Structure 1
Amino acid sequence: MARQREKATVEASPGGLVDDERRRGRGARSNHTGRFEGERRETFDDGWEGLGDLDAFKTTVFDDPARTIITRNDSPDISFDRSINPYRGCEHGCVYCFARPTHCFLGHSAGLDFETKLYARTNAAELLEKELSNPRYQPACMAIGTNTDPYQPIERERRIMRSILEVLERTSHPVGIVTKSALITRDIDILARMAERQLARVCISITTLDAKIARAMEPRAPTPTKRLDAVRQLAEAGIPTTVMVAPIIPALTDPEIERILAAAREAGARSAGYVMLRLPLEISGLFREWLASEFPDRAERVMHLMQSMHGGRDYTSDWGVRQRGTGPYADQIGMRFRLAVKRLGLNQDRSELRTDLFKRPVLAGQQMPLF
C-alpha cells in the first residue's frame, strides 16, 4: 500500500466551524473542502441572517457497487496483507479516525462529510466469492474493519458485513475483525462456528471508560460499557477476543490504560494491543478544532506531547513510528502497557488462524475440482 505524501499541518480555522445545532451528534466541528478540489467553499453569514435556515447534517447512504473487494497492502508495520471494507465513511463520527482523509478521494470533506455521506459496497459478498474462486488465490487472514467500521449503524439494515461472513464461513477462510460496535454480537452464531475451527478472531476498540469523553469523541459509537459487554459475549461464545486501547490520547485518555486493560481482562479478553493517536493530513486540524471546543484547558498539553513523539510535528508517517511515536513519553506509554499486560496475563495465546481448511468456491460455469 503506497504511503500518502506527508502534507503540512492543517491549523484549526475558527471561521470554518459549523454551528452546534447543524452538527449535533457529530464528531467533527467543520467541513472544509477536500484537498483535491479546485475550488474552496466556505459557509459564512453575509449579514442577512441566512445561516439559521441551513439544514442540519443528515446521514445519506449511497449504493457503491465495487469492481474489486479485496484490498492488498505491503506495509511492513501492519500484520495483514489483505482487507475488506464494506463501507466508505463512518457514522460513528470518531474525531480522531485516521480514515477520514480517504473521503477526499471521493470529492468530499474529511470533516462532517465523512460522517454523513456514506457509501455501501452493495456487491461485496458476490465479488468476494468471485475473487476467492480464482485458482491463483492463496488464503491468509482477511482483515475487516481496518479503515471504517464494518458494524457502524447502517449495517443493521444493510447487512453487508454479515453476507461477507457467510461467504468466509462457507469457504472456511480465516478472518480478523476490528470494530468498536456491539452490533458484532448479532453475528456470534457465525463467528462462534468459525472460531471452533480456528478461523475467526475479533478485536474490540476501547478508547476510554469515561462515558462523557466517549460521547464527545465518538458520538455515534456504542458506549464503553456496551463494548465491554460485547467482549464478554464474544468470549463466552469461545471467540478469541482482543481489546485495542486505541487510540491513546496524551493527557486525555492515557491515565486509563491500566483500567481499560483490567476491565477487558475481567470481561474475558485474551489479548490486547495499543496505538497512539495519529494525526495525518486533515485530521490534525479537525482534532485541534475538537480539542479547542471540548478541552480548551488541556489542548496545549495534548499537542505538546503529540509533537514530542513526532520530532516537533503533529505527525510523522514513517513505518514503525506512525502508530507508536518515539521519545520519552512514547517509551513510557509502551512500558506501562507491557507491565499491565504481563500483570493481567494477557497475550499468552500465540495460536494462528488456520488457512489449510480453505475450500475454493466454484462459481456457475467453472469446472469442479477433480480431487
Structure 2
Amino acid sequence: MIKGRGAQIQVKNRFLLHEYVQEHLEGIDEYDEGAPPTQYVPIFPKTIVNKVVSPDVGMEFSLNPYQGCEHGCIYCYARNSHEYWGYNAGLDFERVVLYKQNAPSLLESYFQKPSYEPATIVLSGNTDCYQPIERKLGITRKLLEVFLKYKHPVGIITKNVLATRDADLLSDLAKDDLATIIFSVTTLDEKVRRKLEPRTATTQQKLRAIETLSRLGVNCNIMIGPIIPGLNDHEIPNIMEAASKAGARSAGFTMVRLNGQIGQVFEHWVKKAFPDRATKILNQIKGAHGGQLNDSRFGKRMQGEGIMVESIHKLFAISKTKYFGNSHHRPPLRTDLFVKTKRGQMGLF
C-alpha cells in the first residue's frame, strides 16, 4: 500500500474529456506512486459561506477554508467535490490541497452586510479545517478570531487535535455559548485507523483533546463517522464509553455511503487493506443501502436501512443512554449576542 495515503489509485474525473494516465507499468518512464509530495495551491474565492440545502446533515451554513484534505480518509464524501476543480477523487484529493487565504476577510465582509442575520456557521462541512497545513497557515485560527470579534456562533467538525492550539479562542467563545466542537472518532483500533484515515490524529490524542477542551468549558461531542459494517460497528459501545469518560457531552453517528467515484476508490482500497474481510465489508455496505454502495435518498443515505442497520441503531441507542444519559441534543448556540463592528475594531467584548 502507498504509505501515508488513504486512496491507492487515481480515478477518472467525470467532468474531464482528457486526462494523463500511466499506460504501461513496464514503461521506461515508470514512476513511484508513493513519491509525489502534497501540493498546496492558493485560491481566491469571492464568497466563503455556503448555504447547506441538504436536509439531513444537521447544519444550515458551512465554511471550508480548504478544498482537498491530506488526512486521506478513504470513505470521505468530500472526495467527489475535488472533481469540480479539475482533479480526481482518488489520490489527487489527498495530494493537492487548495487553500483560501482570504477566507477571514471574506467572512468579515459577510458579517458586515446590512441585512445579515446571524446563524451558526460550521467549519469543515466539506474538508477538515484542522488538517496538517493549518498548523502553518493558521487560516482557521484567523476565522475564529473573526467569530469572536463579532460574537458569532461557530461549530467545528474535525478529526485532528490542532483545535487545542486555539483553546484560548474556543474557551472565550464557549463562555457565551458561541462554540461547539465535534470530534469524528471512527475506531479505537490503531491498526485500523492507520489504514482507514492515515493522517488523522490517533483516537487517544482525540480523547485527550476532548479532556483538555472540556475542562475549559468548550462543548465537545463525538461523531462515529462513519460506521462501516463489518469493520467498526462492533466498536460502538467502547467508543462511546471512552468519549464519555473524556468529557464529551453527546454522540451521533452516520452510516458509510460511497457516493460517486468514492465507491471505486473504497473498493480498491478495502481489497488491499483488508483482503480477508473485503467481500464481507462490501456486501454489508450494500445490504445497508438496498444492494448498492451508495444511497442518495435524503433521510436514508446517512442512516441506512435493513435488519442489520436496525441492530446498529439499537446498539447505538442503548450505548448512548448508558454513557450519555438523556443528553439527546446539543444545546443551540446563541445568536443574540452578535454585534456588527467596524473593520479593525476588537468588538464589544
Q: Same fold (TM over 0.5)?
A: yes
- 1:111 aligned onto 2:90: yes
Q: Is the partner of 1:99 in helix, strand or coil?
A: helix
For 1:1-371, list aligned pairs within 5 A: 20=1, 23-45=2-24, 47-52=26-31, 56-346=35-325, 348=327, 350-363=330-343
8 A Cα contact 2:9 2:91, kept in partner:
yes
User: Structure 1: which 4+ aligned runs deviate by more than 4 Å?
Assistant: 52-55
Letter matched to residue 142 of structure 2: S
Would the aligned equivalents of 1:265 and 1:346 in 2 still touch at CA under 8 Å? no
**Alpha carbon RMSD of aligned pairs, Å?**
1.5
Change (3 A) 1:112 1:346: farther
SS in 1 for 2:77: coil
Q: Give a deviation string over 1:153-190, Cα, whole Å, max 9, x none.
A: 00001000000000000000001100010111000100
Q: Which amino acid aligns with 2:192?
A: I
Distance in 1, Cα, partners of 2:51 & 2:316: 30
Tell me the TM-score normalised to structure 1 length.
0.89
Instruction: State the one-letter code of the partner of 2:9.
Output: S
Letter in 2 for 1:354: R
Q: Report if the CA contact (8 A) 1:270-1:346 is conserved.
A: no
SS at match of 2:218: coil
- Partners of 2:324 and 2:11 in 1: how far apart? 45
CA contact (8 A) 2:11 2:261 kept: no
Shift of 1:79: 2.0
Judge conservation of contact 2:230–2:281 (CA < 8 Å) in 1.
yes
Query: 1:300, CA displacement in angstroms?
Result: 1.1
Q: How far has the Cα of 1:222 moved from its partner?
A: 0.8
Match of 1:3 in 2: none
Gaps of 5+ in 1: 1-19, 365-371
CA distance in 1, matches of 2:15, 2:238: 42
Give, in whole Å, the separation in 2 of the partners of 1:309 and 1:55: 33
Q: TM-score under structure 2 normalisation?
A: 0.95
Structure 2, unaligned runs of 5 or more: 345-349
Contact 1:44 1:51 in 2 (8 A): no
How far is 1:144 from its partner? 0.8
Aligned length: 343
Judged with a 3 Å threshold, the aligned counterparts in structure 2 of structure 1 residues 350 and 150 are, in CA distance, closer, same or farther, namely: closer
Greater Cα shift, 245-254 or 50-59? 50-59
Residue-by-residue CA offset, 1:235-264 (whole Å, 9 max, x unaligned): 111101101111111111111000000000
Aligned residue for 1:221, secondary structure, equals coil
**CA distance in 1 between partners of 2:145 and 2:228 (Å):** 36
Deviation at 1:363, TM superposition (A): 4.2
- 1:20-39 superposed Cα distances (whole Å, 9 cap, x missing partner): 4xx42111010123111102
Name the amino acid aligned to 1:352: P
Distance 1:270 1:347, change over 3 A: farther
Q: 2:347 — aligned with what?
A: none
Distance 2:305 2:200 in 1: 30
Whichever residue aligns with residue 353 of structure 1, its letter is L
Change in CA separation of 1:100 and 1:268 when aligned onto 2, cut-off 3 Å: same
Deviation at 1:350, TM superposition (A): 4.6
SS of the equivalent of 2:187 reads: coil
